[in-house]
Amino acid sequence: MNTKPSSPQKSRTSAVLVAAALCALLGSAHAQLPGSIDLPGGSGPGVHSPNSPFAPLPERSDVVAWSVLTDVKTKAEKNRILPQFNATQVALNQKSQRVQGFMMPLEPGEKQKHFLLTSVPLTCAFCTPGGPESMVEVKTKTPVKYTLEPVTVEGRFLVLNDDSYGLYYRMTDAVTVKFHLTTQPWSAQ
């Protein structure tokens, strides 16, 4: 059986990634434009709404906190907006990390090997839940069943300085991590 995605599937995935990154980047760029509206703390892209039907992600010491990932400055360079990562973010690069978040599928289907992990749940099928600082592109070793519940993944974490899709973070060779009530509370699946 051919498991490689067909050309239309690759094109569709690329289009979804570009659209998600572009929408997120435009929202991020608009928030930094002179004269833009200042939103009160705790609102805007990537921040959990108190009106959401989903509970916010709990703070956990065994995962990279979204507050670390979203603390990115940007700079305008020619016709692009590029991230400027701080030392904490750069230290995550090329190392095994764990991140918890909500799945944003890039293809139809119950199981996903390539998806975006976001800091807040999707509330609209056509909207990104935040800017590129509040999502991680994930490529897993084995398919992960889609869920509306938070998932935790562990894999090789990449900090992207100038990604062609406008993303800031990527995780490769990822596996899901499930909670177990034993002496070793977390195990890779």
User: Terminal CA-to-CA distance of the chain, rounded, Å?
Assistant: 25
Instruction: Specify the pLDDT at position 179.
Output: 59
Task: With beta carbons less than 8 A apart as the criterion, state whether 118 and 100 touch.
Answer: no
Would you write out the chain's pLDDT as a tens digit for each of its 189 residues? 444 545 555 555 554 554 454 444 444 443 444 433 443 444 445 666 677 777 778 888 999 999 999 999 999 988 888 999 999 999 999 999 999 999 999 999 999 999 999 988 877 767 777 889 999 999 999 999 999 889 999 999 999 999 999 999 999 999 999 854 444 444 454
Q: Return the beta strands (E) in the chain as ranges.
A: 73-77, 80-84, 95-105, 111-118, 135-145, 151-159, 169-179, 186-188
Instruction: Specify the pLDDT at position 9.
Output: 54
Give the count of beta carbons closer than 10 Å to the beta carbon of residue 126: 7
| Burial tier of 27 (Cβ tally within 10 Å: 0-12, 13-18, 19+) | middle
Instruction: Specify the pLDDT at position 69.
Output: 94
Instruction: Specify the pLDDT at position 124.
Output: 72
Both tokens of 170, joined, read 């990527």
Instruction: Specify the pLDDT at position 23.
Output: 46
Instruction: Specify the pLDDT at position 78.
Output: 87
State the residue for tokens 């090997």: 113
Instruction: Specify the pLDDT at position 46.
Output: 60
